[in-house]
Structure 1
Amino acid sequence: MAFHEVRFPDTISRGARGGPERRTQIVELASGDEERNASWANSRRRYDVAYGIRRADDLAAVVAFFEARNGRLHGFRYKDWADYKSCLPSQAITAFDQQIGTGTGSMKIFQLSKRYTSGAQTWVRTIAKPVAGTVRVALGMVEQMSGWTMDATTGVITFTTAPGNGVIVRVGFEFDVPVRFDTDVLDVTLDIERLGSITSIPLLEIRK
């Protein structure tokens, strides 16, 4: 299998349904109390893009995209319109949106990530598929216009000179979700006017 650095059509993903999934084991005791255990340390996203198909041309685009990926075989990029940037949906990206590390004076490589915080709890999500041209970087509170490179296929930032000891590395970016089709069959229905529809087109986030 391979990963194709191509994005699923935005016009269709905009109308899709889906979001994060977690796996929790719950055991109910004789007393009625519960014991809960997280089977997964990280969430995994599922989507159904069938809801985004509104025209016959959309259907044709999905079929072509499906065939080019060989069904479930190859992964691809997907824009989750509900969560695709480092800041809140109503805000513009800045170089200070997310803290991804602290300089040691020797470390040059930092992985993009996004923090999800509610109350005292925070979950950190690794971002592996940033959108090229959207990444902004700051050391401390000073944006860096040069002196670093970004690998848009892995989400790794490499500095030419290692950030100084104790210097906070901050970033802003847009990102895609690495996914694959979660089916090897597209069940297409054509009505009398030759307008088509597909009941379900599931996508599943790829976790390595």
Structure 2
Amino acid sequence: MAFHEVRFPDNIGRGARGGPERRTQIVELASGDEERNASWANSRRRYDVAYGIRRADDLAAVVAFFEARNGRLHGFRFKDWSDYKSSAPSQSPGPLDQPIGTGNGSITSFALMKRYSSSSQTWTRAITKPVAGSLRVALGGAEQTSGWSVDTTTGVVTFDTAPGAGVTITAGFEFDVPVRFDSDTLDVTLDVERLGSITSIPLLEIRR
């Protein structure tokens, strides 16, 4: 099993359906009350990209991509058009978008994260597949155009010199979702005009 640092075709992925999934256990008591427990600490995303196929060429591209990944064996990148950047959908990523750590004078590496907040509740998502060339970084509110690098295969930002104690580190970026096919079969249908379709092409987020 390996991860291929290649992205599923954007023009097909743009028509996908899907989003985050959580796993919650609900027990109904004899009184009618409920007890709810979260089985997963983090969400996991599912998609169906069959809705993005509009032409026979799209179908051929998906079949080729599927074969090159050996079905479910190898993971790959997917652009979730509904959630692919650190900023609001109407804005471009900026260096102050997301806090990713606070300096202590010795740590040089910090993992990219995205926070989802509503009222007083916040959930933090690890970002492991930033898009190359999209990252902007700031120290204490001042953008840094050099002195750092990012590993686009892990989402870890490394500074040449450790940020000073108490310095807030923020970042803005675009990112992909690490996924795999969730089926080893593509059920292809061809009509009289040789146009094709696939009923369902499920993708599942890879969590490590």
- TM-score between both structures, scaled by the size of structure 1: 1.00
Give the SS at the match of 1:101. Answer: strand
Give the SS at the match of 1:67. Answer: helix
Cα-Cα RMSD: 0.3
Q: 1:14 Cα deviation (Å)?
A: 0.3
Match of 1:67 in 2: 67
Match of 2:85 in 1: 85
Match of 2:102 in 1: 102
Q: What CA distance in whole angstroms lies between the structure 1 residues aligned with 2:18 and 2:36?
A: 24
Q: Which amino acid aligns with 1:190?
A: L
Moved over 6 A (4+): none
Q: What CA distance in whole angstroms lies between the structure 2 residues aligned with 1:24 and 1:128?
A: 25
Match of 2:49 in 1: 49
Structure 1 gap ranges (5+): none
Q: 1:93 Cα deviation (Å)?
A: 1.1
Q: What CA distance in whole angstroms lies between the structure 1 residues aligned with 2:161 and 2:110?
A: 12
- The yes-or-no answer on 1:112 pairing with 2:107 is no
Give the SS at the match of 2:115. Answer: strand
Q: Which amino acid aligns with 2:143?
A: E
Superimposed CA distance per residue, residues 25-57 of structure 1 (whole angstroms, 9 cap, x where no aligned partner): 000000000000000000000000000000000
Match of 1:18 in 2: 18
Q: What CA distance in whole angstroms lies between the structure 2 residues aligned with 1:59 and 1:83?
A: 25
Q: What CA distance in whole angstroms lies between the structure 1 residues aligned with 2:125 and 2:49?
A: 23
Structure 2 gap ranges (5+): none
Q: 1:92 Cα deviation (Å)?
A: 1.3
Superimposed CA distance per residue, residues 78-114 of structure 1 (whole angstroms, 9 cap, x where no aligned partner): 0000000000100111100000110011010100000
Q: What CA distance in whole angstroms lies between the structure 2 residues aligned with 1:2 and 1:52?
A: 26
Q: Which amino acid aligns with 2:152?
A: A
Match of 2:29 in 1: 29
Sequence identity of aligned pairs in percent? 79
Aligned length: 208
